[in-house]
A and B are shown apart, each in its own frame.
Chain A
């Protein structure tokens, strides 16, 4: 692990900015910072969003697990529970369809001049997050811990002798799925 680099706050801010820059650049060039492209994905007419996400997952997954084996990186897994991981993302999905952007792509859309992403999206998302902070103590006491399942991964679930017995089939399955989409012309 590059511990010395990780502890240099200023350089880290610069790396964050640089990675964000390239991320935004790719999202814009991928066409997914546009309301019409995102909406056509949700209407199952255009599969650009799914193609980009699935390709990123396969690429990312193979590299991340390959770098984890020699201890170059740590995983950063998010814990979940039925009370957190289902209702929250469902509300997110409703908003996703009405707004037509997600948090990342609303910033990207702002970059090419989409005023609905700036005035509606960015302000709305901040307001929603602030609203969540206000009700967080109540939710934490009630629904959030319900049905907690921790930060399990699919590897923990199947417990193979070697984690690659799960990673490789997932990569093959996703790649095959993308190939089928191309063949049927989606």
Chain B
């Protein structure tokens, strides 16, 4: 009974301690390598989805692009991982009653105002940079930031340093200088 109560308290809590979450993600990395011979990574699935959408609009010619020859735009293990990520985050938020449809994050609104159009334009532009940069550097905060760094790969440590260096610089520019 006590164990069930503890479990239920955890499931309905909005926030878990960061170290618990970090250890959990580390263990998921073990499972991904062991059970699937795959590192956890997210941004390739976005590139594959882009390829699938482009193929649906412009026809099979798209698959001949060199990038899509090397990264075939199909549903694969990583794509399933990203679909699961969405469902898992939804379930976690639902269990703690934290599903809120929101256009503008509170911190953005405090500084840049409540305009939905402004926030969406910025998010779209930022997203384009994220997608473009992630593919240019062969990985994102998951593929490089967790899976690569934990294997002590040099390119991943350099990439993570660049993510946060540019991220911190632009964040300060947006919130502290302008």
Q: Which residues of B contact A34 (CB under 8 A)?
A: 105
Q: Which residues of A contact B125 (CB under 8 A)?
A: 95, 98-99, 124
User: Given contacts A89-B158, A128-B130, are A30 and B123 in contact (CB under 8 A)?
Assistant: no
A161 within 8 Å of B by Cβ?
no
Q: Which residues of A contact B165 (CB under 8 A)?
A: 90, 93
Task: List residues of B (122-140) whose CB comes within 8 Å of A's CBs.
Answer: 122-140
CA of A96 to CA of B26 in the docked complex: distance in angstroms? 23
User: Given contacts A2-B34, A15-B35, A115-B101, are A103 and B131 in contact (CB under 8 A)?
Assistant: yes
B4 within 8 Å of A by Cβ?
no
Inter-chain contact A30/B16, CB cutoff 8 Å: yes
In the assembled complex, the CB of A130 is this many whole angstroms from the nearest CB of chain B, namely 4
Size bracket, chain B contacts: 35 or more
A129 within 8 Å of B by Cβ?
yes
CA of A139 to CA of B137 in the docked complex: distance in angstroms? 12
A92 within 8 Å of B by Cβ?
yes
Size bracket, chain A contacts: 35 or more
CA of A106 to CA of B101 in the docked complex: distance in angstroms? 14
CA of A60 to CA of B23 in the docked complex: distance in angstroms? 8
Task: List residues of A (74-102) whose CB comes within 8 Å of B's CBs.
Answer: 74-80, 84-102
Which residues on A are within 8 Å of B, measured CB to CB? 1-2, 5-6, 12-31, 33-36, 39-40, 42-44, 48, 51-61, 63-64, 67, 72-80, 84-117, 119-134, 136-137, 139-140, 149, 151-157, 166-167, 170, 178
Inter-chain contact A57/B146, CB cutoff 8 Å: yes
Q: Which residues of A contact B139 (CB under 8 A)?
A: 78
Can you list 28 A-B pairs with a CB-CB distance of less than 8 A?
Answer: A2-B37, A20-B80, A29-B14, A43-B168, A55-B21, A58-B26, A60-B25, A60-B146, A90-B165, A91-B133, A93-B163, A98-B125, A103-B46, A103-B130, A104-B141, A110-B86, A110-B89, A112-B90, A113-B100, A115-B102, A116-B104, A120-B126, A123-B124, A124-B125, A124-B128, A127-B131, A132-B67, A166-B152
Across the interface, name the chain A residue whose C-beta is closest to B140. A103
Inter-chain contact A89/B137, CB cutoff 8 Å: yes
Per CB-CB distance, the 8 closest pairs between chain A and chain B, nearest first, are A124-B127, A120-B123, A55-B22, A80-B155, A128-B131, A20-B84, A59-B26, A93-B166
User: Given contacts A60-B30, A121-B127, are A51 and B19 in contact (CB under 8 A)?
Assistant: yes
Across the interface, name the chain B residue whose C-beta is closest to A115. B103
Q: Which residues of B contact A85 (CB under 8 A)?
A: 137-138, 155, 158-159, 162
Inter-chain contact B84/A23, CB cutoff 8 Å: yes
B7 within 8 Å of A by Cβ?
no
User: Given contacts A13-B80, A116-B123, are A91 and B129 in contact (CB under 8 A)?
Assistant: yes
CA of A107 to CA of B119 in the docked complex: distance in angstroms? 17
In the assembled complex, the CB of B120 is this many whole angstroms from the nearest CB of chain A, namely 5
Q: Which residues of A contact B43 (CB under 8 A)?
A: 103, 125, 129
In the assembled complex, the CB of A45 is this many whole angstroms from the nearest CB of chain B, namely 10
Interchain CB contact (< 8 A) of A116 among B26, B38, B66, B105:
B105
In the assembled complex, the CB of B10 is this many whole angstroms from the nearest CB of chain A, namely 8
Inter-chain contact B150/A44, CB cutoff 8 Å: no
